[in-house]
Amino acid sequence: MTRDLPPVPDPAAQRPAPPEADSPPPRPPRPKKRDISGWIVLDKPVGMTSTHAVAAVKRLFHAKKAGHAGTLDPLASGLLPVALGEATKTVPFVMDGRKAYAFTVAWGEETDTDDAEGKVIARSDERPQPEMITELLPRFTGTILQVPPRFSAIKIDGERAYDRARDGEEVELKPRAVTIDRLTLVSHIDDRSLFEAECGKGTYVRAIARDLGRGLGCYGHVSALRRTRVGPFGLAHAVTLNAIGEAAANSGALNDVLLPVAAALGELTHIDVSRGDAAKLARGQAILIRGRDAPIHAGTVAVTALGHLVALGELENGELHPRRIFNLQPRS
């Protein structure tokens, strides 16, 4: 006859359970991305890249989409128009606009970047007199041929010129036609001169400084640069990152810094249509523009309905074809 033996205790079961490891606190939920549309004209500080500036504005507003209208070098300060949401559809109209700059040229040294961040590649003890500079300026106004800086965003065989230059490659860029409407000597002290310039798309202020220095036989580079106008936007529209942050934290102050999408389209002909025609445009259908008030115009127009921007279209022989449709929410 067998007896049932008592169960053998499990030593592991008698050991106290190890204390639970401290778990990290739960992460706060990410703020929801917002459908926000309009233009922020940032007064970019020196030392910040354009990409960083756009990312900062986008982060402050938790915006879904953002872009900028024209790169501004880290050395430069001034206007960097940032497009949010539907405003990104109007970026080309700002980038193609005229630009204005105030910049200082330091004489006596040429650098490989044509600004103060680069390595000195040529020196001269010569210094220009104001009358020498003024006499040379007409050669740099109107439509001229300009060789872009080696450290520029121009692509060579699909690669940025500045990437090739940083890798030590010899970068050869071809001259391009650019238009400089105005170039003025504002002041001159010792080895530095302050200029103001108004120019078209594709003009490099750094190249102006480089070529002025070569023309004067003394070399030169940009030591300070501030952009004061981009297309329809001037210094009166500029806001700082601090002001943007305050407005982003207070939705009631949003309109203090956010310009409407249509602010980029001031130079276009504006056509107001009925709500029914706006609906047709939104479906991709062309509409007829007839009557006494029909504009005598061919080309791109901005289309509004009840005062709200609805589309960009091409007008030809009285027929309006939609090209870009805007999905804008009413602004508070």
CB 58 within 8 A of CB 88: no
Amino acid 104: pLDDT:
98
Look at residue 71 and give its three-state secondary structure.
coil
Amino acid 28: pLDDT:
64
C-alpha 304, offset from chain centre: 26
The residues, any chain, with a CB within 8 Å of residue 190's CB and separated by 6 or more, are 127
Amino acid 16: pLDDT:
59
Helix, strand, coil: what percent of the chain each, to 5?
Answer: 25, 35, 40
Strand-pair partners of 41:
81
Amino acid 330: pLDDT:
52
Residues serving a catalytic function are 73
Task: Please tell me what DSSP assigns to residue 67.
Answer: E
Tokens linked to 272: 């107001």
In the chain, which residues have pLDDT < 50?
1-3, 5, 332
Amino acid 91: pLDDT:
95
Strand-pair partners of 83:
39, 67
Residue whose entry in the numeric block shows the structure tokens 């070399």: 219
Count CB atoms within 10 A of the CB of residue 315. Answer: 20
Amino acid 56: pLDDT:
94
Amino acid 332: pLDDT:
42
Amino acid 10: pLDDT:
56
Strand 66-68 with 176-189, pairing: unpaired
Amino acid 276: pLDDT:
93
Amino acid 34: pLDDT:
80
Domains of the chain by start residue, with CATH: 38-96+233-256 (3.30.2350.10), 99-228 (3.30.2350.10), 268-325 (2.30.130.10)
